[in-house]
Amino acid sequence: MTLHNLALLSAFGLASAFPWVASVPGVDSSLFHRDVFEKRQSYPYGSCPNNPQHTGAAPYSKQYPYTGAVNGLPGSQKGGIQVPAPGDTAHYYTAPGPNDIRGPCPGLNSAANHNFLSHDGITTFAELVDAQQNVYNVGYDLAVLLATLGVGLDGDPITGKLSLGCDATSRTSSTGGLLGAEPGLNGHNKFEGDTSLTRNDFFPSNGDNYMFNGTLFEAMRQTSNNVFDRTAMSKYRYQRYQQSIKENANFYFGPKSLLLYGAASFLYELFPSYGPAGTADLATISSFFGAVSTGQGTWAHQGDRIPPNWFSRVAPYTIPDVGNEIIAQYLAFPVLFGGNLGSTNNFDGLNTTFGIIKDGKLPSSTTAADITCLLYQLATENVPSSLSTVLELPLEVLEFTISKLNPIFKNYGCPLRTI
């Protein structure tokens, strides 16, 4: 099996465990065919932007070191720093051009627009680990976990390169794609998933799972009453889940959907000035999402941007911290993991056990420490990526992932995988 050409083949492997899926009326198995899958992901439906000027992230200077994180190594883990620093013009906002790749992640889009990541959107593992620390004071542990998931699932584990959006395999892969397609962060059911805050579900939107949707942003704003805190995010995520059951015949909410609760926590833990010490208000959130009010109850989009006079959170945001937020949001509205069986309002629970997820549920006794180890399992094990398929990690990806994550997770007492 070739690198990254995964879901289709493993579907057959599991067919005997799920004989009912193939015969479910309305399941269009051609959607899983690789050609169709890739065509639908391309941007805008056919081509992925290509900027001949690939410059890499703006280097950090002695004068403006932020946390001092460089070359993918830990920085000081001390935040409370103004970003971009006054005078650090190299990291001032530069709008993305038509040749620059942006995708479903406002945190990374903003970092790229400020040249903390390569402005063309073809970034690297080291740029990702440095930028998360220097811009947001993401803890080194969580920065490595997210960069490993991104590069491992959607990019190239050999070159360490990743596209922030669409498939740019010829530019991320060392072999020009001989090993298979590298979808970038737009890749569906790898890292990206259904029920996003401001992005459409993949299937009902013909594959537009990455562009900012102003209707969804307005729904999030209304549910949040302009305060984007844990309570609001829990409620809005539940609302999006119900919406997907009603509107997306191919809705899938698998174990990796736990990552989306983590992303939702970034609104109140990473985006406010000084993080949790600041306020996740509309001005702040709309700036990072690039949301511009049209004055008519909906929102247009311009480049995702760090708000003016903004400071990073003081204490690093670590894996146990995000574990705590994930479980708090989940337990506020416990939902079944699973998916629709090819028609709307036809949801079935995931019947495979994955980690502590059993009968499609996380037990109510789940702790933040359990989530920490579950995050390790999400990164290092073959995870169900639909009701009938399991995403198999190719050996190169598994080796890469384990080499990055074992040194981090050995501190958290999780059972570790070896090869």
Ligand X SMILES: *[C@@H]1O[C@H](CO)[C@@H](O)[C@H](O)[C@H]1NC(C)=O
In the complex, which residues of this chain contact ligand X (CB under 6 A)? 20, 200, 205, 208, 213, 215-216, 348-349, 351, 359
Q: 36 vs 300, which CB is nearer to ligand X?
A: 300
Give the amino acid at 113. N
CA 224 to chain centre: 21
3-state helix, strand, coil in the chain (%, to 5): 40, 10, 50
Structure tokens at 349: 């629970």
Strand, helix or coil for residue 51: coil
Give the Cα separation of 380 and 148 in Å (integer): 10
266 binds, among ligand X, ligand HEM, none (CB under 5 to 8 A by kind): ligand HEM
- Is the Cβ–Cβ distance between 194 and 174 less than 8 Å? no
Q: How far is the CB of 339 from ligand HEM (least distance, A)?
A: 15
Task: Return the H-helix or E-strand segment holding 398.
Answer: helix 395-409
What is the DSSP-derived secondary structure letter of residue 34? H
For ligand HEM, what does the binding mask look like between residues 262 and 281, x meaning CB under 6 A?
-x--xx--x-----------
Contacts of 25 by beta carbon, 8 Å cutoff, 6+ apart: 342, 343
For ligand HEM, what does the binding mask look like between residues 145 and 164, x meaning CB under 6 A?
-xx-xx--------------
* Residues in 183-222 that interact with ligand HEM by CB under 6 A: 185, 191-193, 196-199
213 binds, among ligand HEM, ligand X, none (CB under 5 to 8 A by kind): ligand X
Give the Cα separation of 144 and 130 in Å (integer): 9
Q: How far is the CB of 65 from ligand HEM (least distance, A)?
A: 19
CA 12 to chain centre: 27
359 binds, among ligand HEM, ligand X, none (CB under 5 to 8 A by kind): ligand X
132 binds, among ligand X, ligand HEM, none (CB under 5 to 8 A by kind): ligand HEM
| Residue 64 interacts with ligand HEM (CB under 6 A): yes or no | no
| Residue 317 interacts with ligand HEM (CB under 6 A): yes or no | no
Give the Cα separation of 1 and 193 in Å (integer): 24
DSSP annotation string for 197-215: SSS--TTTTTT--SS--HH
Q: How far is the CB of 173 from ligand HEM (least distance, A)?
A: 17
Among 260, 291, 327, 357, binds ligand HEM (CB under 6 A): 260
Q: How many residues touch ligand HEM (CB under 6 A)?
A: 26
Give the residues lining the site for ligand HEM (CB under 6 A).
104-108, 128, 132, 136, 138, 146-147, 149-150, 185, 191-193, 196-199, 260, 263, 266-267, 270
